[in-house]
Structure 1
Amino acid sequence: MLGYNTKVCQSKQIDTADLNGDKVMMNLDKGKYFALNSVGSHIWDMMIEEIYVKDLIKILLKEYNVNKKTCESNVLNYLGVLENEELITIK
């Protein structure tokens, strides 16, 4: 289950391409395409190596004008979608 002390990382099975600052990805196992906006792409890039969810949130709070509660909720929801689609691994 995802939480602040969970480590997340990109799945190695995902083929990703950069498209004007956004990411387009394909889960080769599922044959599904995904598109990420600039914020989602930034989070994706931060997950090249394992990173704690709490550290992702700290970075985003420094870089974007968003309140902590909204940031935490949005990040956890977003990571949950990525996990459900098997785009990330969690530890």
Structure 2
Amino acid sequence: MSINPSSLVIPGGDVVHCDLDGGAVLLDLRTRRYFKLNRVSAHVWSRLGDHAEVGVLRRSVLETFDVDPDRCTRDLDALLGAMSAAGLVEIRHVSVA
């Protein structure tokens, strides 16, 4: 299932984070698994708040980092997909008319 710009990303309620040397570390309290985030991934995590639209996250990454827009889309979709598969976030797909 593809992620569209209007999809909502909601961080897991059982996930805590700590900034770490330009990146971040997430701890899933349910599974007791740690996840180390690089600078870009930590930037995305810090922008989630209670929820964020994928399009807003993409714009934020593009404005903050020197990255090709197509690569940004691919990498962000892969990151969000991996976070979703690990149970760190929920992605709510919103249909686009």
Asked if these proteins are the same fold (TM beyond 0.5), I'd say: yes
Letter in 2 for 1:82: M
Structure 1 unaligned blocks of 5 or more: none
Find the counterpart in structure 2 of residue 64 from structure 1: 65
Structure 2 unaligned blocks of 5 or more: 93-97
Shift of 1:9: 2.1
Partners of 1:19 and 1:64 lie apart in 2 by: 19
Query: Where in structure 2 are the equivalents of 1:29-68 lying within 5 Å?
Result: 29-68=30-69
Structure 1 runs, 4 residues or longer, greater than 2 Å off:
none
Deviations 1:9-36 (A, max 9, x none): 2111012112122211111111211100
Q: TM-score, normalised by structure 1?
A: 0.90
Q: TM-score, normalised by structure 2?
A: 0.85
The aligned length equals 91
Q: Percent identity?
A: 25
Letter in 1 for 2:90: T
